Amino acid sequence: MINEGVSQAILVSGESGAGKTESTKMLMQYLAYMGGKAESEGRSVEQQVLESNPVLEAFGNAKTEIERYKLGKPSTFHYLNQSNCHALSAFDDSKEYLDTRKAMDVVGITSEEQDAIFRVVAAILHLGNIEFVKGEESDAAEPKDDKSRFHLKVAAELFMCDEKALEDSLCKRVMVTRGESITKSLDPGSAALSRDALAKIVYSKLFDWLVTTINNSIGQDPSSKYIIGVLDIYGFESFKTNSFEQFCINLTNEKLQQHFNQHVFKMEQEEYTKEEIDWSYIEFIDNQDVLDLIEKKPGGIIALIDEACMFPRSTHETLAQKLYQTFNSHKRFTKPKLARTDFTICHYAGDVTYQTELFLDKNKDYVVGEHQSLMNSSECSFVSSLFPKPREESSKSSKFSSIGSQFKQQLQSLLETLSTTEPHYVRCVKPNNVLKPDIFENLNVLHQLRCGGVMEAIRISCAGYPTRKSFSEFLTRFRILGPEATNKSFDEVNACKKLLAKVDLKGFQIGKTKVFLRAGQIAELDAHRAEALGHSARIIQRKVLSYQSRKKYLMLQSASTEIQAFCRECRQKVIGKFRRAMFRRNSVGNGRRNSDDFNSLVFVGNWLEILHKRPTTLKSVGIFVGIRRVFL
């Protein structure tokens, strides 16, 4: 990212259970450690990123963690996830609860918000315990017994709403026809569905709030030019029963597979053709026809599902018949034998048969009016904030909202973001279907590698040119390998050829505007470049050391000359004084000899004391030799 100046993306893909989320955790740990030095209110970015996982795991579904990039709602709802209803030796619920609270502190969720969150979760659990039966006077649903009424009362207290209003929102519906309101009572089955719908929408809103809060807490620096994105998406799924969730998940995998195909195969080989280099085309499986089948508008499966949702009398049977008629001759669409409402799509990873029973209900994205009003009127500010009043403009303009259409738009937005980055692909392979260690099913692994395009990617990587640089970029980076090739009037093509010939590189190709290098060759060139830079650095170091040594030598030479001159001057003065003292001693009688000798020695001692005050002078051995000669 720093060298090329381009944002990066890491796409982790593979079948469900192949280890995508664990791989993503490792990537997040590394990236958080490398970039997590900054702190926000005493919490490092590294801590906030890593502690987001326990929070999302606790509130995600029991099978796998919720991915950081959230497309749509959680696909599966369970009333219980972390609980002590079933004792498992490998899990400690109390410890996990404390870990979850600690993680919520780290990501910036206040204690008041945490209390409100657990109030909502507890209320949802009590909702799940409410059962309905037919009333004595009519077929209208009502709570089954005192136990159900107790859970209804507790749920109302936790939601901080009116108990009667909560019961009415579960058991009744208000129909508006021609300006007149009619209250309709629900049967026990419909009331149970209403109960589940309320639990789902509340939990979904809560989860949306958690994701938004965590993203705001971690937050990308607005001043940063580039990003590193890590995408951990649902893996390809094929179960005995496949509903609308699997349909959306597999559509996502088809889109990401197409992105992989375009980046690795289409764009790669189109550029080879454009640059007119010698190349043998490699065939690959293109899944564009599957995407057209699913999302083409009009006429695709999603469009037909949306159309069916807008007609009140549509059922999953009529939807299935419409699909059979429309795609009867499509090679990627088949009708299973003896099936009345199922259909099969031939995905890139294999055939998947979908059951249409709940397609229409799951594609409708709306909040029951009674549920919206109930939650919005809650005295708990946290609960009411999850259900703000819809704007009049939006409610009038968009009465129907499709999950499938929203999902498709989110996918398109995701792919547009990925198109601005340089992608790196991590393919996770599931070694066996029993999810146990030390078991390797060869055929299953080979099937995953082929379906994911890994085999073709290896072939194109071995035969292709993964590194390509424009002539100017290449010369700017590797000019040091042959400065003579880039004189004042040089041709870029010939200069690139000379540089590559000088390092004896084989197998490269020169296109119309770019240099194409095989796998590993850019590393070889960088090694030569590092060697050349090292050689240049050693020359610079040698020149600098030579300059410093010469400068020091000249300083010492100048100081030595000064010292020698000073010493000669001192010696002459000392010798003169000494000779005069000796002359006076010889010309005076023997009575004064001892006094004159003493005075002469004091004079010489004073001069030696002066010399001691000049440290630079004392460094010269010559001065001691000179003084020694004087006394000798």
Closest CA to 355 of 307, 390, 316, 322: 316
**Residue holding tokens 């969730």?**
245
| Residues 481 and 529: beta-carbon distance below 8 Å | yes
Q: Is 303 annotated as a binding residue?
A: no
**Three-class DSSP category at 333:** strand
Match 């055929």 to its residue by tokens: 443
For the stretch 380-383, contacts whose Cβ atoms lie closer than 8 Å and that sit 24 or more positions apart, written own/partner, are: 380/116, 380/119, 380/159, 380/160, 382/113, 382/116, 382/117, 382/119, 382/120, 383/116, 383/119, 383/120, 383/159, 383/160, 383/161
| 20 known ligand binder | yes
List Cβ neighbours of 114 (8 Å cut-off, separation of 6 or more). Answer: 101, 104
In angstroms and rounded to an integer, the radius of gyration of the C-alpha atoms of the chain is 42
Distinct helix (H) and strand (E) counts, the chain: 25, 15
Q: Residue 504: what residue type?
A: D
Number of neighbouring beta carbons within 10 Å of residue 188:
18
Given the DSSP bridges, would you call strands 342-347 and 350-355 parallel, antiparallel or unpaired?
antiparallel
404 is in an annotated binding site: no
Cβ atoms of 17 and 437 closer than 8 Å: no
Evaluate whether 74 touches 66 at the Cβ level (below 8 Å): yes
- CA torsion, ordered 489, 494, 500, 505, to nearest 10 deg: -170
23: its two tokens? 């791989």
Sign of CA pseudo-dihedral 367, 370, 376, 382 = negative
The string of DSSP codes covering 3-69 is TTT--EEEEEEEBTTSSHHHHHHHHHHHHHHHH---EETTEEHHHHHHHHHHHHHHHS-SSSPPPSS
Strand pairing report for 350-355 and 422-428:
unpaired
- Choose among 369, 373, 362: nearest CA to 404: 362
The answer to whether the annotation marks 16 as part of a ligand binding site is: yes
CB 348 within 8 A of CB 284: no
CB of 166 closer than 8 Å to CB of 157:
no
Q: Which of 370, 325, 314 is closest to 167 using CA atoms?
A: 370
14 is in an annotated binding site: yes
442: which residues sit within 8 A by CB, 6+ positions away? none
Residue 513 assigned ligand-binding role: no
Mark the binding-site residues, compressed into ranges.
Answer: 14-21
Mark the binding-site residues for ATP, compressed into ranges.
Answer: 14-21
